[in-house]
Amino acid sequence: MKNEELLNLAKKVREKAFAPYSKFKVGAALLTKSGEVFTGCNVECTSYGLTICAERVALTKAVSEGFTEFAKIAVVADTKEPCSPCGACRQFLHDFGDFDVILSNLENDTKEITIAELLPFGFKDSDLQK
Ligand code: THU
* Residue 112: per-residue pLDDT: 98
The third-level CATH classification (topology) of the domain covering 3-121 is Cytidine Deaminase; domain 2 (3.40.140)
DSSP 39-80: EEE-B--SSGGG-B-HHHHHHHHHHHTT---EEEEEEEES-S
Q: Domain extents for the chain?
A: 3-121
36 is annotated as an active-site residue: no
Give per-residue pLDDT as tens, 58-117. Answer: 999 999 999 999 999 999 999 999 999 999 999 999 999 999 999 999 999 999 999 999
pTM over 0.85: yes
Cβ–ligand 1 contact at 26 (below 6 Å): yes
Residue ID of nearest Cα to ligand 1 atom 3: 53
Q: Compute the distance between CA of residue 42 and CA of residue 53 in angstroms, rounded to an integer.
A: 4
Least confident window among 4-18, 50-64, 85-99, 116-130: 116-130
